[in-house]
Amino acid sequence: MARFKAPCFPAPNITCKVYGGNVTTFSGKEIGFYRPFPCHNVNGYSYKVAVALSLFLGWLGADRFYLGYPALGMLKFCTVGFCGIGSLLDFILISMQIVGPSDGSSYIIDYYGARLLRLSINNETYRKMPPNP
């Protein structure tokens, strides 16, 4: 997965000790480090369109056809959205961005704001231990 590095500015008067033993006190105006962020590729699938299709035409499978899942779309079409239960479940999953485009790309979101990210624990996760009384 491609990553880009964003510059991070530590708060003023933060003192850091690096691996070599050097101590640095930051003023808040210099770059302290670069944090890698994953790049999200998009292929033209709009989040608003996917949610609208799921809400209004989900019982016909239009949301799954739009996102590139033709077999599931046809199954939803033939069963009238799994009698409504599948349509409701798909609306929730698409709204929470758990189900996305079939090619693995991200949605195009027209606003800058909160986005749901699936959190997971891996070898790069730092766990802060509670203080011992």
pLDDT confidence band for 118 (50 / 70 / 90) = low
Check whether 111 has a pLDDT greater than 70. Answer: no
Output the pLDDT for position 39.
Answer: 75
Average pLDDT over every residue of 31-39: 82
The mean of the pLDDT values for the chain is: 85
pLDDT, tens digit, 9 for 90 and up, residues 47-106: 999 999 999 999 999 999 999 999 999 999 999 999 999 999 999 999 988 899 999 888
DSSP calls for 59-127: GGTHHHHHHT-HHHHHHHHHTHHHHTHHHHHHHHHHHTTSS--TTSPEEE-SS-S---------TT---
DSSP calls for 37-50: EE---EEEEEHHHH
Phi and psi at 36, nearest 5°, equal -80, 135
For 57, other C-beta atoms within 10 Å of its C-beta total: 17
Output the pLDDT for position 38.
Answer: 75
Residue pair 63/94 in contact (Cβ under 8 Å)? The answer is yes
Check whether 129 has a pLDDT greater than 80. Answer: no
- The region, left, alpha or beta by phi > 0 then psi within -120 to 50, assigned to residue 76 is alpha
Check whether 29 has a pLDDT greater than 80. Answer: yes
Output the pLDDT for position 114.
Answer: 60
